[in-house]
């Protein structure tokens, strides 16, 4: 049985993968992700997830390596992780009262036998209309600087989220339904 490695620094991805019941290790890929806001978000997350998985798989050729990357997409642009508090505020203002799409790319690699699987998952999020007081209250409760789009759907959603469609865990950062299907196909029972 292959050793499973998650190629991600995200604590949310670790929690979600653990919920599926897999034993796994975490190895953070030392790569520079492509984050050009005008890039097609499906292409960006597919590229970044593959980059992470391939970097780790090259160092652990016998292991089954899972890479993932998530971004928020609105107005033809990707909203990646905010640079600072001002950037997070600007992102929340932009999302206010609107619907956006969350894309996650999944990449599984095993170098020993050339296994290569790539999939993408999309979900939609409707934001409530946010006033400045709500934005400040949200940012006071949630550290958003390590989260695409400057928010976390799982932290105080009552302040910002009106509705979601599709995989909720995709919006968090790892669509567990698709992940489980891929890992089962790779012969890894949960």
Kindly give, in sequence order, each residue whose CB lies less than 8 Å from that of residue 67, ignoring residues fewer than 6 positions away. Answer: 7, 8, 29, 48, 49, 50, 51, 52, 53, 54, 56, 105, 106, 107, 108, 109
Cβ neighbours around 81 below 10 Å, total: 18
Of the residues 25, 69, 75, 126, which is catalytic?
69
Closest to 92 measured CA to CA, from 129, 37, 123:
129
Beta strands in 44-177 (DSSP E): 64-74, 77-79, 99-110, 115-127, 161-165
Select from 52, 40, 26, 12 the least CA-distant residue to 147. 12
CB 34 within 8 A of CB 23: no
Q: Are 148 and 71 in contact (CB under 8 A)?
A: yes
Three-state DSSP at 36 gives: coil
Q: Is residue 113 annotated as part of the catalytic site, yes or no?
A: no
Catalytic sites, residue numbers = 69
């Amino acid at each position: 049985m292959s050793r499973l490695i998650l190629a991600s620094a995200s604590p949310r991805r670790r929690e979600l993968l653990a919920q599926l019941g897999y034993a796994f290790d975490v190895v953070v890929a030392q790569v520079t992700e492509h984050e050009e806001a005008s890039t097609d978000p499906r292409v960006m997350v597919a590229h970044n997830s593959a980059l992470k998985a391939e970097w780790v798989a090259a160092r652990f050729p016998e292991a089954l390596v899972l890479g993932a990357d998530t971004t928020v997409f609105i107005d033809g642009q990707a909203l990646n992780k905010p640079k600072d508090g001002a950037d997070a505020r600007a992102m929340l203002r932009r999302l206010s009262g609107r619907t956006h799409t969350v894309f996650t790319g999944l990449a599984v690699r095993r170098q020993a036998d050339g296994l290569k699987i790539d999939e993408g998952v999309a979900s939609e999020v409707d934001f409530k209309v946010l006033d400045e007081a709500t934005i400040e209250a949200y940012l006071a409760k949630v550290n958003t600087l390590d989260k695409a789009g400057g928010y976390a759907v799982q932290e105080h959603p009552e302040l910002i989220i009106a509705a979601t469609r599709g995989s909720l865990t995709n919006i968090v950062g790892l669509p567990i339904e698709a992940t489980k299907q891929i890992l089962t196909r790779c012969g890894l029972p949960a």
